Amino acid sequence: MINLKKGDRINLAKDTVALDYIILGINWGKIISSSLFGLIKKTEAVDLDASVVLFDENGKNIDIVYFNKLKSKCKAIRHSGDDLHGDDEEDSIDNEQIFLKLNQINPEVTKIALLLTSYNKQTFDDLPYASVKITNKSNKVSEELANFHLTKDETLKGKCSIILAFLEKNTNNGQWTFIADGTGYKAHQIEQVVDIIKK
């Protein structure tokens, strides 16, 4: 297991064989509150959105994969579909996944941002649980590159979005470097977070 912390980098190559199949997995639950000494329970749906934003060498946003666009133009990135509610009880099954085949991505793409946003402005610390796994699945190798336990992270209190990580391509050899991030923001819209990245 390779478990990177914020700012850590890893070149996605091993034994000269490029590792280029990344899976972003998000798992979360509904907000459950109670009243009248626990006799009345209220369940509130939670809509977290995983997304991937693609940039060229000039920093121009040239494509995006998210709940309203489930495939990249080059077909190398695929979103599993939008979960609008979250789980009724805690489990280990991802609610949303994004699959990235880096060796098939548009050659103009040199940087990729992996994002998570809270559509209804619910902050991460309000959720019963929310976690993210970023896994390298290339060549039958399964290595967890990074994980984020959002509800337990004090730095994410009051935050509705997070930049999970970046992938950067070396234009000389085509190999990708994975950079863990984990910075949270109050912005809740994908477009807002993209603007933050550009700045």
Quick: pLDDT tens for 2-47: 566 677 777 766 654 566 899 999 999 999 887 666 677 889 999 9
Average pLDDT over residues 97-125: 96
Average pLDDT over residues 89-111: 95
In the predicted model, is pLDDT for residue 181 greater than 70? yes
Average pLDDT over residues 77-85: 97
Domain ranges of the chain: 9-198
Q: Which pLDDT band holds residue 138 (cuts at 50, 70, 90)?
A: confident
Average pLDDT over residues 82-107: 94
3-state secondary structure of 190: helix
Beta-carbon contacts of residue 173 (< 8 Å; ≥ 6 apart) = none
Q: CATH: 3.90.700.10, 2.70.98.60, 2.60.60.30, 3.90.45.10. Which one for 9-198?
A: 2.60.60.30
Q: Which pLDDT band holds residue 50 (cuts at 50, 70, 90)?
A: very high
Would you state the pLDDT for residue 3? 62
Contact 65, 72 (CB under 8 A): yes
